[in-house]
């Protein structure tokens, strides 16, 4: 009986210990204010939406909390009072709580950056929060111009980034006329993948010359994006026709205009011809110097012999 009672007591003690592990530790008992250790240092907001930056301080007593913007070191708020002409900023604090909030309405890309929650003591204590601003944008792969051969499959892919939530729908238009499964053209397929990045693909079978024109991708929660499609009947794009094949027959380097390669090749050929002519002139010059040098040596020898003979005769 005693053994069972002992086991029961131990079980209760273990349960209490395990239960305590699920409860956050109580605030420290101190006269100095300090920041809550569970606060997040990063916050994400979307353009046009609202952002709230929270700061929790324990043992605040009669001290005040202020907010400062990192990019220009401007004081935005002190306590519940806002000190900026930008009406999008608002300081919030409920009396008797330990949380101070900086609210930013209609967030803009310029709002991205560091914000400091400061406790006004000496030295000043600060907790830094980084606000990341996501700006929605859309694009069609290959824009602004796409070239495709007749009878091939048309695949237009519209990618939507940074949306607060996936769009309810994505519509496609060709020359301002709606495209759908029931379009008179036929052979139409639309595939949509929703998520943080939403992708809508328009597939048209057996491209026709009549498919040439502007295509528009219109999400429900973002501005439209466009692409110009050119269906070719075996010919090359005008840009390719106007290009000149380099004499060296090698493709231009990335960022290098084909005409520049042609000019380089011509320049190299001209330099090569000049160098060939220069080598010939140099050879003739060297030959002339050699003849002149030999002649000079012979003349010197003759003069020395003559001078020696003159001395012998004088003796």
**pLDDT at residue 268 above 90?**
no
Residue 27 and residue 84: Cα distance in Å, rounded?
A: 33
**pLDDT at residue 6 above 60?**
no
Q: What is the pLDDT of residues 243-253, one digit of tens each?
A: 333 333 333 43
Average pLDDT, the chain: 77
Q: Sheet with 198-204: list strands edge to edge.
A: 137-140, 154-161, 198-204, 188-193
Name which of 26-40, 128-142, 172-186, 256-270 the model is least confident about: 256-270
Q: What is the pLDDT of residues 269-287, one digit of tens each?
A: 334 444 444 444 444 544 5
H, E, C per residue of 211-238: HCEEEEEEECCCCCEEEEEEEECCCCCH
Q: Is 11 helix (H, G, I), strand (E, B) or coil?
A: helix
Mean pLDDT of 224-250: 66
**What's the pLDDT score for residue 290?**
55
**Cα end-to-end distance, the chain, whole Å:** 153
Q: What is the pLDDT of residues 47-105, one digit of tens each?
A: 999 999 999 999 988 899 999 999 999 999 999 999 999 999 999 999 889 999 999 99
**pLDDT at residue 174 above 90?**
yes
Looking at per-residue pLDDT, the higher value among 27 and 170 belongs to 170
């Amino acid at each position: 009986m005693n053994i069972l009672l002992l086991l029961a007591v131990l079980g209760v003690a273990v349960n209490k210990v395990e239960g305590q592990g699920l409860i956050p530790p109580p605030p420290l008992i101190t006269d100095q204010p300090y920041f809550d250790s569970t606060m997040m240092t990063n916050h994400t907001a979307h353009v046009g939406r609202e952002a709230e930056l929270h700061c929790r301080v324990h043992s605040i007593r009669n001290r005040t909390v202020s907010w400062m913007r990192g990019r220009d070191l401007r004081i935005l708020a002190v306590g519940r009072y806002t000190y900026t002409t930008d009406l999008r900023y608002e300081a919030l604090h409920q009396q008797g709580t330990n949380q101070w909030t900086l609210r930013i309405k209609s967030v803009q890309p310029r709002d991205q950056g560091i914000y400091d929650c400061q406790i006004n003591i000496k030295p000043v204590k600060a907790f830094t929060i980084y606000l990341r601003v996501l700006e929605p944008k859309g694009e069609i792969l290959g824009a602004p111009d796409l070239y495709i051969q007749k009878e091939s499959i048309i695949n237009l892919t519209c990618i939507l980034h940074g949306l607060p939530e996936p769009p309810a729908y994505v519509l496609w238009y060709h020359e301002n006329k709606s495209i759908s499964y029931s379009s008179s053209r036929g052979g139409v397929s639309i595939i949509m993948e929703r998520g943080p990045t939403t992708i809508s693909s328009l597939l048209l079978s057996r491209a026709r010359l009549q498919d040439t024109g502007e295509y528009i991708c219109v999400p429900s929660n973002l501005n439209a994006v466009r692409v110009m499609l050119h269906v070719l009947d075996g010919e090359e794009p005008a840009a390719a026709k106007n290009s000149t094949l380099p004499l060296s027959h090698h493709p231009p380097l990335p960022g290098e205009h084909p005409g520049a390669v042609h000019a380089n090749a011509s320049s190299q050929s001209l330099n090569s011809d000049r160098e060939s002519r220069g080598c010939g002139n140099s050879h003739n010059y060297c030959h002339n110097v050699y003849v002149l040098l030999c002649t000079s040596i012979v003349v010197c020898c003759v003069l020395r012999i003559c001078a020696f003979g003159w001395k012998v005769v004088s003796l």
